[in-house]
Amino acid sequence: MCHTFCGSHISNRAHPTAGGGNSTGKEGVGFADESESIIKNGQLKLKSKKLDLVVANSIEGSMGELSAEIYLIDRKEVTHVTKRDKSELGFEIMKHIYKLTKSKGYINDLIN
């Protein structure tokens, strides 16, 4: 069961029609706090919301905490990021977005 979900977009000004199955020129990134079946529910959201990446975590293990563990779920793989400080998790998320944009043949100018 998903308790919260919000989406963000990272602009790709260099290639306005590039992106994960959309023509907005943006990378779609969703965040999902799950109470069960974290990976399965994250993968379902990735597809149903037509996103490029879902950052999923357990609601029980992260709400109100300074650290958490997350799963970075994209169209090709699921990457488990072990429990660490949330500021470090933010950096891991940005690195993953960079990797996704680089694999599509462009580099996102917001994180260069």
Per-position pLDDT tens, the chain of length 112: 333 334 444 433 333 333 345 445 566 899 999 999 999 999 999 999 999 999 999 998 888 899 999 999 999 999 999 999 999 999 999 999 999 888 776 554 544 4
Whole-structure pTM value: 0.73
> How far, in Å, are 23, 63, 94 from residue 87 at the CA level?
31, 14, 11
Which CATH superfamily groups domain 2-103?
CoaB-like (3.40.50.10300)
Q: 22-25: which pairs have CB atoms within 8 A and are 24 or more residues apart? A: 22/50
Distance CA 106, CA 23 (A): 15
Provide the residue ranges of all domains of the chain, joining segments of one domain with +.
2-103
